[in-house]
Amino acid sequence: MRLDHGIGWSLDGFDLSGTDPAGVRWLVEDVENWDSPPSSTGAVNQNEFADGGRVEPTFLESHPMVIKGYLLAAGFPLLTGRALAKAAAAAFKAAIPVRQTAPLVLSDGGVVCHRMVQQEGKPDVRMVSNYQFDISVQIVAPDPRKLGGDGSTPYQHQQSAFLPSTTGGLQLPGPSVVRTNLCTNPQAKNLTGYDAANGATNGLVANDGVVGVGTGLTSIKTTLPTYAGDTGANIHSSSVAPGVQRTFSIWVKTSIAGVRVSIQGSGTVANVESPGHTGDGTWQRLTVTATGATTGSYTAYILKTGSTAGQFFQFTGLLVEDVPAAGTYFDGDTPAVSGASYSWSGAADLSPSLATRSGGVSAPFSIGATVVNGSVTIDTIGDAPPPVLVRIDGPAVQPIIRDSDGGSMPLDITLDAGQWLDVDMDARTVKFNSAVNRRNLLRGPWITPHSGMVLSLDAAVYDPLTSMTVFWTDASY
C-alpha cells in the first residue's frame, strides 16, 4: 500500500494515497463516519399502563460512510495530463465494489485495519479541470466493525490445540490401554469369524483402498442368492454386560441399496440396525450401537432383504468397542502416533486389538507432570467481539467446543481422518469440509466470542490425532 505522510487508504486493493506509477497524485481528504461508532436500532417505547418505558431489543446497524478526495495529474502537458486523469478515474470507478463487499483499508502509523464495504447510492466522480477529478463515493459496511489487518486473508490469527492430555509426573506402573477393538479379525485377512448366512457365499478380495482403514488389506466379498428374506454375512457374536453400550462400525462397498448392519439379540438384548448403504458403489462406514441388558447375547450381521443371485457386497475394517459412538478405526497393525501405540492382545489377526497411551496412567493429581490442556486463548485488540472460527479436524467422535465461561457446544458427528468441521461463531454456521451446511449437528447454545476467552476441545472418545484450529481477527468499533 502507498503511504502519504504515514497514512494510506486502499479500496479492494486499489491504492488511494500518494503518487501512482503513472505520476497521478491521489489524496483521500476524509472518509466520513469512519471513526464514528455504529448506530443502533435501540428504541424505548412508553409503557401503556405505567410510568417510564420499555427497551426494545437493540442491534447495531450497518455503517454508511463517504470517501472524499481527489486525483491530480499535474505537471504534464495538457493532453497528457487530461488523459492520465481520465484513465485514473476510470480505474477507480472499476475498483468500486458493487455486488459484493471488498476491504476498505486504512494504514495509519503502521496500524492496519479495514471494513468490508460496497457501494451505496450513486458515486460522484467528477472532472473539475483538465488535470483533476474530485471523488465522493458513498459506501456501506454491512458489518459495522473495523477488523484488523488488510482483509487479504479471512483471519489475522490462528492457533491449534489437541485434546487434553497428561504425561509424566506421578504415574501408575506401565502404559494404559485406552481402547480395545473386540473384533479378532478386523482386517478380514481370512474368513475366520465371518460366516455366510441364508445361501450367501464368502470369498477374499482386495479392498481397493477403503478410506479410514488403509490400502494393502483384504476384504470379504459376500455373494448373495435369490432370496426373499434377509441374507448376508455373520460378522460378530458375543454377550454384552448389562447397561454397556457396544458400538459396531464396518466399511461396506456395494452397488445395491439397503445393505445394513443388523444386531439381532437374544434374551433381553434389543434388535437394532444401522442406516442402509446408498448403493452407489463406494465404500461407506455403517455404524450401529446396541445396549446390553440383564441377560442374553447378540449376533451382528450385514444383511440385505430381498436379493437377486449374483448381487454382492464387500466389507472390511470391523471395529467393535464398548463406547456410545464409533471412534477412528484401528487394529493391531495401525502405526503408532505421538502418545499412542497399537498392538494385538494375542496372535495377529486372531485376537482383539489394543490402543495404548504411552507413559503410563497419571494419578488424579500430578507431581512434575506435563499437562497439555488443549486450549486456545483468544487475545485480541479492540472493543468489539472478534470474528472466531473453530475448525475441528478428524478423527473426532462427538466433539465438544468449550469456553472458559462454562459454555459448551456439543456436535453430533463422527469425523474420520481427513474430514473436518468449520464452526463459525460469528456467522453461526457449521459446515462439513468447508462446504456442506451442517448447522443441525449443534446440540447446545452458541458461544459468544469475546477478547480473552479460552476455547478448548473435548470428545466422546479420546484420540491423540483429534485437533482444533482456532482462527480470529482483532475487531473494534
- Mean pLDDT, 10 residues at a time, the chain of 477 residues: 91 94 95 93 88 89 96 94 96 95 94 95 93 96 94 90 65 64 90 90 76 63 94 89 86 94 72 91 90 76 94 93 84 78 88 75 43 77 94 92 92 90 95 92 93 92 88 94
pLDDT at 265: 76
pLDDT at 215: 47
pLDDT at 42: 84
pLDDT at 173: 46
pLDDT at 79: 94
What whole-number distance in Å separates Cα of residue 320 and Cα of residue 250?
A: 9
pLDDT at 68: 96
pLDDT at 462: 84
7-148 and 179-357, same CATH topology: no
Domain 157-165+366-476 sits in CATH 2.60.120.860: yes
pLDDT at 290: 85
What whole-number distance in Å separates Cα of residue 381 and Cα of residue 394?
A: 31
What whole-number distance in Å separates Cα of residue 396 and Cα of residue 415?
A: 5
Residue whose cell numbers read 477374499: 204
Question: pTM above the 0.95 mark?
Answer: no
pLDDT at 360: 43
| Residues in contact with 279: Cβ distance below 8 Å, sequence separation at least 6, in sequence order | 254, 255, 256, 257, 258, 259
> Domain extents for the chain?
7-148, 157-165+366-476, 179-357
* C-beta of residue 137 within 8 angstroms of C-beta of residue 178: no
End-to-end alpha carbon distance in the chain: 23
Enter the CATH code of domain 179-357: 2.60.120.260
Enter the CATH code of domain 7-148: 2.40.30.200
pLDDT at 241: 78
Residue whose cell numbers read 452407489: 280
DSSP state of 440: G
Grouping H, G, I as helix, E, B as strand and the rest as coil, residue 25 is: strand
pLDDT at 208: 65
Grouping H, G, I as helix, E, B as strand and the rest as coil, residue 471 is: strand
What whole-number distance in Å separates Cα of residue 331 and Cα of residue 213?
A: 9
φ/ψ of 260, rounded to 5, equals -145, 165
Radius of gyration over every alpha carbon of the chain, rounded to an integer in angstroms: 31
